[in-house]
Structure 1
Amino acid sequence: MARVRKPESYTNSIITPIYQNTAYYYDDHKTYVKALHEGSITKGRYGRYHNPNWEEVEGRLAQLDEAEDCLLFPSGMSAIYSTLMAFAKSQSCFATTCYLYKNTRRVFENLDKLGFKTLILDNSDLSELMISLDQVSQDINLLFLEIPSNPHLYLADIEKIKKLLEPDTLLVVDSTFASPYNFKPCLWGADVVIHSCTKYLNGHADVVLGSVAGKKEAIDKIRNFRNINGVIPSPRDVFTLGQHLKTFNLRMESLNASGQKLTEFLNSHPLVSKVYYLGLDSHPHRELSKKYFTNGYGGVVTFELKLSKRETSELIDNLKIPYIASNFGSAETYIEQLAPFTYYYLSEEDRKSLNITDSLIRLSIGFNDPVDSIIDDIDCSLARYIATEVH
């Protein structure tokens, strides 16, 4: 069968269609020389290297992060691992902090099996973190920070840290819990910023994706790793992300306002012993948040109750609105009792070292749920325990 030229009469579509394909053709050898050898024209080559949906959304994400370039990955964790491996050398020393997403910590704890050295530093105290980094700054090749951290929302002063590091030490920041709407690490010295796009950026709990944005030189190196290893996202998922990004600013504005209001309610409740939210003066890193965060602090609130483990579980079971689930940044409200739900695999001693108590709760506000309804729901569930205390 003779090859058939594809119709190009609909390339004026406002919305980029889904390019569910693996191969791209060239009219003649001059065309592929211009595309592949000279780079004077943009043409795809193969589905592991190029896809119009990727490139469009990557460009939009780079703009959001105010970065030079961006890459998409099939998940946030694949984005993290690919970044680490792209810069790994024999005897590399990677540093991170102890308060961060549990699976990210697991990656670092297992890097020694691959011949790399790992340092895990305490980031709950900003001054102590700077002292620790000063002592090891000449030894590390890459520093990975989660800002804010999961679930306590701790920060790090990346502007000061960048000045402390050696010029060739890569500073990587996972800013999933902030989103580019609230915090732009690249403007403060980060070489690379990572997001689990599954969360705030996509915002509808219907795709799993990750992104890596930053300086072009760094992104090119990570792109080479992606090309070789084939850690690529689905065009259909990327298309979905692109559509949801159109409401990103509106969603974040709503979640920021709701997060602040819920936090103020929790902070004043007699059965709440502690609230972790950067919009509260009681948060240990509140002053630093004023420096870096421009629009607000998101829709995730972590708080601790003056209840037992069993009572905390009962309270969550009695709530009407939140789903007991592990996610955030979407239309639905999610809640989890962290010790038995997320950190159940750790010993009681290890949980204590990470400040994960039996009554610690993480709640993610859904932008479709009125915050006043969420507050009423929590207030009603807590009321029975106030009555019990009185009697």
Structure 2
Amino acid sequence: MNWARSGLGARNPRAAARTASWILLLSAAAIPVSSIGLPGPATQRTMMIGSPVISIALAGVLTIRRLPEAVRGALLILAPLLGIVSVVTLNIATRDASAGAQVMFCLPALFAATHLRSLGALIVAVFCMFGVALTVAVLRPDGGGVYDWFDVSLVIGLITGILLLGAQRHDRLVAMLKAQASRDPLTGLVTRRVLDEAMHQALMPLVPRQGGDARGTALVLLDLDHFKAINDTYGHPVGDDALVHLAALLRHDAGPDVVVARLGGDEMAVLLTRCTAHTAQEWARTLLARVLSHPLPMSTGADLTLGISVGVGHSDPGPMPLRDLYSAADASLYAAKHAGRGQVGPTRTASLNPPPEAATPTPLLVHKPPPSRP
């Protein structure tokens, strides 16, 4: 079961397991200490009931961090509920229904509100209030403990509410920072980090794809030709407009499984999954033709024809380091630039042991950009 999606799981399982270990350790030490000074029968009852609790707590300290993720996720939800049962049992065994004894119910609520998601924290808070009510009902049936139940329940509710509000603000902040880190603010394309993650999944899949897909993965690298000259001639705002314009053209030709990223400056990349080398080359040629046929309209009323150089790297199915596919696409891009820019370089095949020289290079596709209209 996916505990995180159910709203019950821990926000950070490792941190929750670490906190649970400390709580279990302190609880195991607190049981014999709390029995000091009690009357003889009460001490015996406390230790008789507390000994299994101590054993379970110490076992939890030793094992909770080493358990499989699914088992640990379930245990982190059950731990505060088991803690509530333990507190109820010990309080009834010692016949202590005071507010001081009921404060121990705040410990499971504090853990849940700090480490569990909203639904799990609310469930634990409700069980804590029920545990206090059960203890008071058993030990003080005359109704004298109602005010103690109200006070402790109020504290539990405040702890849960305040910590959940803080956790929600924290989650929104983290989500905003992740979104900012994954999107280029100018073009709206994803960043290099997102592209690398997608490439890693395509080139080094954890689970082999069904059906034995033999098409492979392609990486297309491109940049604007003479981008510095555009900035120097028309100004940096026009240069920014050119990048936004190019990003829009890339997104227009991108399907749902295509990842389009800005690497930095005027460099952009496109990841094509389940794609043959021929399909990648044709996709790059179509992109080049589209860029040349869609000039950038400027505020002066003139159109600025943009030129791009494109490199294509392709990897056959099977594990392949990201660096090798990047190197293949970069070699193709360098060939396009070396031949005069404004063209698609020959497709390079990524290889773990690349040959010193390409065997038979694919002819370059050259497009001469038409002159810009004044």
Q: TM-score range by the shorter chain?
A: under 0.3
Of Structure 1 and Structure 2, the greater helix share is in 2
- Which has the bigger relative contact order, CA under 8 A and spacing at least 6? 1
Q: How does the TM-score come out when normalised to structure 2?
A: 0.25
Instruction: Kindly name which structure, 1 or 2, has the bigger radius of gyration based on alpha carbons.
Output: 2
